[in-house]
Structure 1
Amino acid sequence: AAQDEDFGHPEKFCENIPAANWVISATVTFTNDDIVPYIEKVNKKDPHSGSIVTSGPTTIKDSNWLLGYSISRQPQFHKQKPNELIVWLYGLYSNTKGNYVKKTMPECDGIELCEEWLYHMGVPESEIKKMAIDATTIPNHMPYITSYFMPRALGDRPKVVPDKSKNLAFIGNFAETERDTVFTTEYSVRTAMEAVYTLLNVDRGVPEVFASAFDVRMLMNAMYYLNDRKKLTELDLPLPEKLIVKEGLKKVKGTYVEELLKKYKLI
Structure 2
Amino acid sequence: MNNSHYPATQAAADPARDEAIASGHFYLVGGGIASLAVAAFLIRDADIPGARITILEALDKPGGSLDGAGSPQEGYVVRGGRMLESKYLCTYDLFDSIPTLDGRSSVTKEIFDWNETIRTSSKARFVRDGHREDTPSYGLAETHLLTLGRLSIEPEAMLGDSRIADHFEPDFFETNFWYMWCTTFAFQPWHSAAEFRRYLLRFAHMTSGFNQLHGIMRTVYNQYDSMVRPLRKWLDERGVRFRTNTRVVDLHYDESGELNRVAGIVCEQENRRVEIAVGTQDKVIVTLGSMTAGSSLGGTNQPAVLNHDDSSGAWALWKTIAAGHSEFGHPSVFADHVDESRWLSFTTTLHDRTLFRLVRDLTGNVPGEGGLITFPQSNWLASIVLPHQPHFLGQPKDVEVFWGYGLHIDRPGNFVSKPMAECTGREIMTELLGHLQIQAEAPRILDDAICIPCLMPFITSQFLRRKRGDRPQVAPEGWANLAFVGQFCELPNDVVFTVEYSVRSAQTAVYTLLGLNKSAPAVYKGQHDPRVLYGAVSALHSR
Same-fold call, TM > 0.5? yes
Q: Please tell me whether residue 74 in structure 1 is matched to residue 395 in structure 2.
A: no
Q: Please tell me whether residue 193 in structure 1 is matched to residue 193 in structure 2.
A: no
Q: Decide whether the 8 Å contact of 2:511 with 2:518 is kept in 1.
A: yes
Q: Decide whether the 8 Å contact of 1:17 with 1:146 is kept in 2.
A: no
CA offsets, 1:19-39, max 9 Å, x none?
6x5421011122222113432
Aligned counterpart, 2:366: 46
Seq. identity, %: 37
Partner Cα separation in structure 2 for residue 28 and residue 215 of structure 1: 42
Displacement of 1:220: 4.7
Secondary structure of 1:116's partner?
helix
Describe how 1:1-267 pairs up with structure 2 within 5 A. 1-18=322-339, 22-47=342-367, 52-55=368-371, 57-124=372-439, 126-222=440-536, 235-236=542-543
User: Which consecutive residues of structure 1, in runs of 5 or more, have no partner in the other structure?
Assistant: 237-267
Aligned counterpart, 1:240: none
Aligned counterpart, 2:239: none
Q: Decide whether the 8 Å contact of 1:53 with 1:73 is kept in 2.
A: yes
CA offsets, 1:98-148, max 9 Å, x none?
111221122112222222112212211x53243123022122221101212
Runs of 4+ in 1 over 4 A off after TM superposition: 219-224
User: Which consecutive residues of structure 2, in runs of 5 or more, have no partner in the other structure?
Assistant: 1-321
Mark the CA change 1:213 to 1:121 in structure 2 (over 3 Å): closer, same or farther: farther
Q: Decide whether the 8 Å contact of 1:25 with 1:139 is kept in 2.
A: yes
Larger relative contact order (C-alpha < 8 A, sep ≥ 6)?
Answer: 2
- The letter of the residue matching 1:149 is F
TM-score, length-scaled by structure 1: 0.74
Secondary structure of 2:523's partner?
coil
Partner Cα separation in structure 1 for residue 364 and residue 536 of structure 2: 20
- The letter of the residue matching 1:160 is V
Mark the CA change 1:6 to 1:46 in structure 2 (over 3 Å): closer, same or farther: same
Secondary structure of 1:170's partner?
strand
- The letter of the residue matching 2:331 is P
Secondary structure of 2:345's partner?
strand
Secondary structure of 1:144's partner?
coil
- The letter of the residue matching 1:95 is D
Q: Decide whether the 8 Å contact of 2:352 with 2:445 is kept in 1.
A: no
Partner Cα separation in structure 1 for residue 414 and residue 478 of structure 2: 53
